[in-house]
Structure formats: C-alpha cells, structure tokens
Amino acid sequence: MPGGASGRLRIDPFLTYMKSLSPMRCQLGEGPLWDADRRTLFWTDIPGGELHAWHQATGEIRRVYRGEPVGGFTLEADGALALFRVSDIARLDPEDGRLQTRPFSDSGMARFNDVTADVRGRVFAGTIGRDDQSGGLFRFDPDGSDRLLFRGTGCSNGMGFSPDGRRMYWTCSTTRKIFHFDYAADTGELTHRRVFHACHPDEGIPDGLCVDREGFVWSARWTGSCIVRQSPADGAIVQTIPVPAELVTSCCFGGEARSTLFITTARQADKPDESGAGGVYAIETEAEGIPGHRSRLFCS
C-alpha cells in the first residue's frame, strides 16, 4: 500500500519486485548490516550459530562465522565485527575468521539480541530475558565499561537513531511497543522515554528497525508478514510493504545509493510449506538510509 510521494516505493505490487538474495533459508535470520566499504551485507542465523555475507558485486554468499549464537553485531571502526553472543562479546575478523573474546554475564539474560552503535562508538545492546521482565538494555563504552540502562522486557529488539542524532528508538517486542528517548551524544544518556507507537494485534509484533534520511522509521513485523514505514511526527503507519514470510525480523538500508532495503525473515517449524520463510530479501525504494555508526569496543 503506497504512502505519500516522499519515500514511496517505485513499484507496486511489491512482491513482484522483491528479490531473494539466496536460495538458503535461515532458521532465524536477523540483524542485517550493510558494510559500504566491502559492498557487503552481513546477517546472522541465530539458532544456527552462523554469520553470512552477500557481496553485491558478485552475488557470492559465504559463511564467515560458525559457533556460539550471535544475537546482534556491529561493524567496528577497523572493519572487524563485534559479535554479541550468549555470554561474551567477540571481535571477528570476517576475512580470516579469527576471534578475540571479552566475557560478559548477566543473571537476567538468556542471550543478547539486537544491538546498535552510536556516533561515539558506544554500543547499545538489548537482551532476551529469562522471563518477561529480566531482559533489558545495556550500554558498552569504548573505555571497556558497561552499564545496565534498564530492565523490564522479555525481548529487547530493534533500535535506531534519528537523522539529527537527538532521538533514539527502542523496541519492546514483549509489550508490542516502540519507544523513543532523547539522546545525548556527548554522554550517551537516554532520557524522557515515551511511546512512539503501540502496535495493534493485527499489525504483528514489532521486531528490528531502521531509520531513513527523512526520519521515518521502518519496522519489521514478526507474525505480520510486512515492513511498515512510520512517521517520525506521530508514529503513524504511512506505508506497508508485504514480505513473503509471516515472521519478518529486521531490515536495513544499503547498496550504492543506500536506497536498497534488505529484509531478514525466519522459518516456523509448524509451517514447512511456507516457501519464502527464512529468506533474505532486497527491494529498491525511493527512500535513502542513514550511514551506520561504527563501534569502537575493540579498537581505539
């Protein structure tokens, strides 16, 4: 369903022009991340304990990691990947597979989930809780320190920053709400938490998200079979993009002009005939993404 002229997709119906990047189907594809230097899209298959890379110029897909499940990851300033796993954070060189680990434990978490880096190289990292209240959000700073910002969720999910860097979005899948905070880049502080959008049950569950250059929020909808584009003014849905899978997990912008929307999905064990489930997809848009920030947890 097209929205207004600004940021409208060029084509309709959407599914006709949505490209599958690979015949491979993830069990739980997540965390798409575009590396402009390598012209490569990375994503994780969480329960499979794998990280994959798709190279735009050649279309080649390769597995760059296999090991402990990776809930979320960031691109480091030196080109490495910082993997947020079950009980540690690991630096991965995606070219040779070398790992450097930093232990981390929290009694309330089962594992890390979505993460995002800020302009100063900090990382905000959410967790999957052992119950509906024990998950939360942590901040990891380049000086090696970490801080619990809050608990109160079973599933901390997608995050992103507004184009001016003054607002941060955070998703609580447990309550089906997307929140926003005032954000101070100098200190990394989040203040004045309020609801950006409360999802109606018919919308599905909000999962991963990204933000475009105009400030619109693109939110993946678990059980919703879609990505929605939401107004930064009031959270209203202005556009819905159908996806050929019920469990849509996350999205990011990338490609040469940052106008390609990459989408990850998951499979359901009780729906083996859902042929598009678990796929990774790409569709061209008239929106433009914001270049992502790089973390500085393992490099100065």
What band does 46 get if pLDDT is binned at 50, 70 and 90? Answer: very high
Q: Looking at residue 175, what is its pLDDT? A: 97
Residues 6+ away with beta carbon under 8 Å from 234: none
- Rounded CA gap, 124 and 86, in Å? 16
- Whether 202 shows a pLDDT value over 70: the answer reads yes
- Bond into 13 cis (ω within 30): yes
- Residue 16 has φ and ψ, to the nearest 5°, of -60, -30
- Whether 208 shows a pLDDT value over 70: the answer reads yes
Q: Percentage of the chain surpassing pLDDT 90?
A: 88
3 state SS of 203: helix
- Rounded CA gap, 92 and 73, in Å? 10
What band does 122 get if pLDDT is binned at 50, 70 and 90? Answer: very high
Average pLDDT over residues 272-293: 91
Among 8-22, 185-199, 269-283, the least confident range: 8-22
- Rounded CA gap, 220 and 243, in Å? 10
**Distance spanning both ends of the chain, measured CA to CA:** 45
Average pLDDT, the chain: 93
- Whether 15 shows a pLDDT value over 70: the answer reads no
Question: Residues with catalytic annotation?
Answer: 207
Count of C-beta atoms within a 10 Å radius of residue 185: 14
Q: Looking at residue 9, what is its pLDDT? A: 40
What residues does 101 pair with on adjacent strands? Answer: 90
222, 204 contact by CB (below 8 A): yes
Q: Looking at residue 16, what is its pLDDT? A: 53
The tokens of 209 are what?
């998200």
3 state SS of 201: helix
Average pLDDT over residues 104-124: 97
- Whether 196 shows a pLDDT value over 80: the answer reads yes
Average pLDDT over residues 52-77: 96
- Rounded CA gap, 252 and 187, in Å? 26
Going from the N-terminus, what domains does the chain have, and what CATH number goes with each? 14-284 (2.120.10.30)
